[in-house]
Amino acid sequence: MADSSRLGPWVRRFLLEHLINERNLSRGRRQSYRDTVTLLIPFVARKARRSVDAMEVIHVSADLVKMFLLHLEESRGCAISTRNQRLAALHSLARFVALHSPEHIAWCEEICLIPFKKCTQTPGAYLEKAEIDALLAAPNLKSAQGQRDHLLLLFLYNTGARADEAAQVLVGDLNFAHVPKRDLSWVKLRGKGNKLRHCPLWPQTVNELAAAIQGRVPAERVFLNRYGRPITRFGIYDLVTRYVRRSVRVMPSLATKNVSPHTIRRSTATHLLRSGVDINTVRDWLGHVSVDTTNIYARVDLETKAKAIAHCEPEPTKQAKPADEGLMTFLQSL
């Protein structure tokens, strides 16, 4: 690099070379890093009284980064988890610069010494089985659109797929059993970091998928919107929200929950664990890298906790028989 002191070239290399070619991050992760830098640079430029294009690496001082993180919390109303996510991206940028520019090692150390804030993890909401059933019953199965919507909701619950994973499923990703009672039907899902996993499909899901993809080529997306174009993850969010509103009339408890596609994913994990499925199987089912992530769903399952407490509950204390008065008198006389 001709001038290693300039910030702009480092940011370009970080976003275009490091994140794509070296780390092979997903588009969503790359956009998160980009958004962090997009927020940081104008903030630091104002504080340092420099134009964005004239900024140097050292202008992004540890003190200004701390001010930026405080700005995220107080002015932008970001949660601590978001603040920590932005800081992690800046740590990554600092380490990349120091790796290729030894003169910036001290600067990198100052940035990386900025600590993450401890935040309280609140367990995410999930739906009980009756609430899932009400949601699946909401679409009008007499219409073609209602059938497509029901299939998508059923697919989300069956697979525990993220909204983006469901939107990306191709016809060619489906593998239907040749002999249903002997073979297993499954779908290939593309998770975070382009990691692939196979997820089993229920017979009902297979039947509805087979009808939906009849006559379509393998390269087509499975789930389409009302205009016949591939649905997006935003479209899936809107679809879930719409049917939750309809379901509230028959299941009022849904009105107290903020239901999204990820809520259905949590419900899948919780119901699998509740039915006795091994936690490592659930981890693989959902595509979690670490079982620690899956453990979150085990912690939020109140029904399983209640059953565990019931097993530990002691037997009722038996009423002691009245003491023999003569014996007590004898003992006290000793």
Instruction: Select which of 6, 23, 192, 216 is catalytic.
Output: 192
**Residue 41 CB contacts under 8 Å (≥ 6 apart), including other chains:** 7, 11, 52, 55
Distance (Å, whole) CA 264 – CA 138: 15
Known active-site residue 190: no
3-state secondary structure of 168: coil
CA R_g for the chain: 28
244-245-251 Cα angle (round to 5): 70
Instruction: Select which of 18, 83, 86, 162 is catalytic.
Output: 162
Distance (Å, whole) CA 219 – CA 10: 38
Instruction: Select which of 265, 266, 271, 283 is catalytic.
Output: 265
Distance (Å, whole) CA 38 – CA 32: 10
Known active-site residue 192: yes
Known active-site residue 242: no
Distance (Å, whole) CA 300 – CA 126: 9
Instruction: Select which of 18, 150, 190, 262 is catalytic.
Output: 262
Known active-site residue 265: yes
Best CA proximity match to 57, nearest among 92, 90, 10, 21: 10
CA 304 from chain centre, in angstroms, equals 22
Active-site residue set? 162, 192, 262, 265
